[in-house]
Amino acid sequence: MFLITVYPKGAKENLNKAERNVLAKLTKKPRRNLSPEDCIAEEAKNIKTGLEEAIAIAKGEADPTTYRAYVPSSIDVRSLRRRLGMTQRAFADVFGFTLAQLRDWEQGRASPTHAARAYLLVIDREPEAVQRALKAA
């Protein structure tokens, strides 16, 4: 499985310098001396390179200092909790949140921090592993 991130126009604040440079290359206007076919070929080559890089990351062959982990900008905490079949109290207790914090997230009064969203993403993908790790502590 591969994840291709699409950034909305103007949403560059979460990108590091290398990512901004790549984005600038991808969004620059083609040179006037290239035919439309050459422009398409060049973009196809860029896409192929990106996919090869994604495959290397997925296989664990890429240098981890050359890419960042993807953390979504928002997470539907209520849907996550319901998919796990847990009450608010059980979810908060099992995963180490306060009940008030969980309710604030679910009711839209507050949003999880970047670190909390990363943790919630791990809970979403591997809840049993998180529970095992927390029980061992």
The per-residue pLDDT for 32 is 61
Q: Same domain, yes or no, for 34 and 55? A: yes
pLDDT, mean of residues 76-90: 97
Q: Which two tokens stand for residue 29?
A: 């206007």
Is residue 93 assigned to a domain? Answer: yes
Provide the CATH number for the domain around residue 110.
1.10.260.40
- Let me know the angle formed at the C-alpha of 61 by 57 and 67, rounded to the nearest 5 degrees: 40
Decide if 87 is inside a domain.
Answer: yes
Q: For residue 80, what are the contacts with CB-CB under 8 A and spacing of at least 6?
A: 120, 123, 124
Q: Which domain holds residue 46?
A: 17-66
pLDDT surpassing 60 at residue 22: yes
In a domain, 30, yes or no: yes
- For the record, the structure tokens of 74 come out as 């928002």
**Which pLDDT tens digit goes with each residue over 32-53?**
677 778 778 888 888 888 888 8
Structural domain includes residue 71: no
Tell me, yes or no, whether 108 lies in a domain: yes
Q: Residue 116 above 90 pLDDT?
A: yes
> For residue 42, is it within any domain?
yes
Average pLDDT, the chain: 82
What global pTM score does this model have?
0.56
Residues 55 and 102 in one domain: no
The CA-based diameter of the chain, rounded to the nearest angstrom, is 64
Question: Is the pLDDT confidence value at 5 over 90?
Answer: no
Would residue 46 count as lying in a domain?
A: yes
Residues 62 and 92 in one domain: no
Number of domains within the chain: 2
Torsion from C-alpha of 8, 10, 11, 16, nearest 10 degrees: 120
CA separation for the pair 58, 60 (Å, rounded): 5
